[in-house]
Structures are given as C-alpha cells and as structure tokens.
A and B are shown apart, each in its own frame.
Chain A
C-alpha cells in the first residue's frame, strides 16, 4: 500500500508488541501493530491519548525504558534488518543517524545547559567520526538556515532558553535531519505549540522531508494535520491499529466505527450548524490492563454485535490496501464460528 507503486520500503513494523509490567497487571500498550513506511512517504498514526502511538515509536527507536516496559514480540525491519535483534551499540549507530526523532515538547527536549552549537555538532560528529568540529559547525548553521532560523551564525551560540517554543522545535528538526536520516519519527511535534506556529512547523517537516527524501512517521491526535500531511494513515485504538488506508481513501470511506466517530468529531467550517453540538464518541478508552479477548471499542460502538464482546475482529482488506479490523466486514460464517469458539472457550 503506497502512493508511489515503486517506492522502496524503508521501515517495516511487523506484529510489534510492547508490554509494561505494573503492579496492577500487564499493560499491553502496543499489541500487534504492523505498518510499512516507504521512501519519501509520510505515515500518520492517529489515536486518542493512551492508544499506544508514542509507545509504538519509542519501541521503533528502542527507547522504551526497561523495566517496566519490554518489547515482547514482533519485528522492526529497517532496510531488511530486524533492529530489535541488534546489540545496543549497533542500535546506537542507527538512532539519530538513520532513524531520528523529534518530540512533543520542544521546551524541554533540548538540553538547557548546553549551547545549541554543542548539541548539534555532537550529533553530527557522533555519526560521522571524520568530520571536524569546524565542518560540523558549518553544517549545523546550514541546517538552521534551512529550518528558517534568522542569522543562524549568531543564534547557534545561544542556549535553548533564548529561543521561543516554535524556534526550539525548528532546532530539534534541524538536529534530527542533520545526519540525513532515512526515517524521521515525529511524536506529536506540534501539540505543545500554538496554532499558527503548528502550521509553520508542519509545513517545514513536509518541505524538508520531500526535499531530502526522508520518510516520516507522524504521530498526532489531530485529524486535520493528518489530512494535510500524510500519505497513509493508521488509526490506533487500545494498542492496536484498527484501520489503515491511504489518506484520501480513509476520509472518503471511513470503515471502522471508531474512525467514523473521529472524523465526525472534527469541527468543520463548511457544514457549521449552530443548533447542533459537536459530535463526540461517548465513553472512555478502555483500560488496557488485562483486556479480555474482545473488540476493545465495543462498549462505545453503536454498531456492536454479540461477537464483538467475545473475540477480536480479524483484519479485512477492503481493496486498495484499505485494511480494517472490525466484525462488520467479516463474513457471517466467520462471525458465527468465532462466537461459537469463544463460547466453547468460556465453558472450559
């Protein structure tokens, strides 16, 4: 599934499972997530807070703190190699160089004690040992210019607190792209910024990634951002991807009731109806501790059936790579069998 049929696969996540051990039980924060990122493509991951978006990305970077977290299963193939099997040293040479990451809160993501120059130069020289300090500084200044920081030669000697939030996020982007990463993981890069700055930052990520051919994984809970930026979208709910499609396709025919609800709850200018309240999905996301085998969305779903309460739905391809995990699209026979199996299991 890709917009460009011949695009090379850069990153492939297969059945990734990341669990956290807590006193209350095992939290299945990410439970069988699969997606593929192609060269130059932007993949969006959307979902409510706690749906496992950030954990998915931190797992791809192998930055889950263990304990309590642990990647218990699956594969993350980067250029065909499973990076979950790499040693910590090998992994370090991928982080920041091949796959780099920008974070949600630019105010706290840069080290307040070190100059921007120190932080950027160390990133470049960490992955390119033969680059001199001077060359690295020149490259950093060039990157800052690219992300639109005025008079970068002077500003690079500043400390992070001398920059505004938007400028800091620009610095983060410059730093993340300074080693020509193949994949940029952007974990809600605009959530902490105000709306006008958000648009600028997203435009910047979009422009630079297409210029440099970087694939982007964009995590967000803002469907408007997804529509504007992403080629492919994954909708996550309770640690799983419930629907995955090319962006236009997803908006044209949202198939999972959850996606439908999400899209309906975006405030719209064109169909503004002053008498109607903004649509919202009733209820709360489920507690993912010791979740029973069922569709986790069923308590909030207005189309739920008996089978939804007893078994997790299989993934169904609706054509054109549009995949959905919902019992609505399963055949009657499959549904009946799943229900029967579940009932038998419960008896045992």
Chain B
C-alpha cells in the first residue's frame, strides 16, 4: 500500500507536466494575445512590451523559461494585472475559495447523504418524493437564481444574514453562510440522488437479505451492512466535485462579493492573460489529480476486494 501511494504521488508529476505543456501551447496558438486591442499599438511600443515579457523570443525558449520558473515555484507575472504576479493572486484567493468550498461541500454531504438514505428507506412515500423534489430543484435551478432568492429572503426580508462581503473577524462567519448554502445546492442534489439510488440497489442485494434473515434491526442493517457499499458511487463523485467546489465559482463570487479564485478562471481567458490561465489550470489540475488519488485510497479502505500493489 505504501509503495502504491508513493507511486501514485510520483505519477502526479508527469501528469502535471503534460497538462502544463499542453495549456502553455494551446493558449499561445489561439489567435489574439494579451496586448491585442481594438486600436493597434505603435510598432515600437508593442515591441517594447513584448520584449519585457520575453514574447519576442522563439516559442520553445519561452517554454523553457516558463518551465524553469515553475520549477522554482514562480508562476510568472500576470499580463493584465500589473500590480502583483500570478503567485500572489492565487495565494490570496485560493484559501478563501477552499474555505467557502469546504463549507459548501460539508453542507452538501451531510444533507445529501441523509436525504438520500431517508428517501431510499422510505421509498415511494411522501418523504421520498419531497427530498427528491428538492434535489431536482437543486439540479435544475441555476445558481444565479438560487443565490439572489436566498439573499432576498434571508438578508433583505428577514435580515438574519448580511447580503454579501467577506470578513474573517468577529461576526464575519455570517458572511459565509449564504454563499456556502447557494454553492452547496447543486452538489447536495447530486449527492442525494446518488445516495438514494445506490442505497436502493444495495438494500435489494442478497447480503442484505441474509442480514434480515439473521434477525437484524433495520437501522443496523442500513448503517452496518449497507452503508459501505452504498457510499462507493458517492465517493467517486466526490473527487472531481470537491476539486470543482474549492476552486471557486464566479457566479457565487460575483453575487456575494467573495474574493475567490473562481473569477480568475473566466477573466484570465477573456484577457488572454497567458500566465494566469496556465496558473489556474495548474492549481485546478493539481487539486483534481490529488482528489482522484484520495478517492482511490478511500475506495480501497471501504472495499476489501480492492487491493493496490
């Protein structure tokens, strides 16, 4: 197992190298560039700027320079935001997105799994229909509708929570509630539906019938005998979902004024901000690859039939 873990972690390196290389060239091959504007710059100015960012060098030399910088942990300067470099923007926004995303995921997990189990156990009763109804709403109603509606109810009408902002001190925790709940909705819905269907499958399996024939209580059967098997599909969903949720969402960040990472994904593409694009791609893929690795480890812990060599 230790050997497997080491191998997998080492395997992350070539994966990342490929991703970095591909994204480095793809963004540069695409027409346009960070300094292309409506009005053409004077040739001299353009050449000066390009020289500053080493864009006058051959592509392969730029690539070598970039890779060398990355090895030293430097993601380079942003082409658009001149005040700081890419490292600074990511280091400042990623922790906020991780905090917000983790809370959202926690909410989604607790309510999603509970709702899924209850719906499965009480299949075809009003509880089942109610929780699956909410789940369908969660999947089909877009975030930019859910978020303002929550703001309207809990911030404007009831005045329980602030409409937006991001504070870390004192009453600051309150600012996180509404964005976390809004963000969790779609994930809650997916987890609830997954849990319900896999729990239903598990409860119909032969070994659950054996447990019943042994005279076990329903609650023991569900939590001791069915839970592990029913959680496997949910676990495999969680890997990519977690990577997505902690790298931020531009919709939630815009509506609740959260200084997260999500906006950089969108803005860097609009701006053709080469280094920032590759920077956020690296962050996202690193998290995704690591989450998938974690999922595999958890899988092996849950299911004894899976062994890694």
Contacts and interface: CB of A to CB of B under 8 A. Distances in A.
Interface of A: 61, 63, 91-97, 100-101, 103, 105, 108-115, 122-123, 126-127, 159, 161, 172, 175
B225 A96 contact: no
A78 to B, nearest CB: 13
B207 interface: yes
Interface in B49-77: none
Contacts of B215: 91-97, 126-127
B214 A175 contact: yes
A95 B213 contact: yes
B201 interface: no
B212 to A, nearest CB: 6
A20 B210 CA distance: 22
A172 B213 CA distance: 11
A113 B224 CA distance: 10
B3 interface: no
Contact of B209 (A100, A103, A114, A126): A103
3 smallest CB-CB distances across A and B, nearest first, come from A95-B215, A96-B215, A96-B214
Interface string B197-232: 000000001110111111111000000110011000
B213 A111 contact: no
29 contacts: A61-B213, A91-B215, A92-B215, A92-B217, A93-B215, A95-B212, A95-B214, A96-B214, A96-B215, A103-B210, A108-B206, A108-B207, A109-B207, A109-B210, A110-B210, A111-B207, A111-B225, A112-B229, A112-B303, A112-B304, A113-B229, A113-B303, A114-B225, A122-B214, A126-B215, A127-B215, A159-B304, A159-B305, A175-B214
Contacts of A105: 206
Contacts of B302: 113
Given A61-B213, A103-B206, A103-B210, 7 more contacts: A63-B212, A92-B215, A97-B215, A112-B229, A113-B225, A159-B304, A172-B210
A142 B215 CA distance: 22
Contacts of A63: 209, 212-213
B32 to A, nearest CB: 54
A202 B214 CA distance: 21
Contacts of B224: 114, 122
Contacts of A92: 215-217
Interface of B: 205-207, 209-217, 224-225, 228-229, 302-305
A22 to B, nearest CB: 15
Contacts of B209: 63, 103, 109
Nearest to B218: A88
Contacts of B206: 103, 105, 108-109
Given A97-B215, A103-B209, A127-B215, A112 B305 contact: yes
Contacts of A97: 215
A109 B211 CA distance: 9
Contacts of A113: 225, 228-229, 302-304
Looking at B211, B225, B228, B303, which has the most chain A CB atoms within 10 Å of its CB? B211
Given A103-B209, A159-B304, A126 B216 contact: yes
A265 to B, nearest CB: 30
A172 B207 CA distance: 11
Nearest to B303: A113
A161 B217 CA distance: 25
Contacts of B216: 92, 96, 122, 126
Contact of B214 (A112, A126, A161): A126
B240 to A, nearest CB: 24
Nearest to B306: A161
B235 to A, nearest CB: 13
A241 B207 CA distance: 29
B53 to A, nearest CB: 56
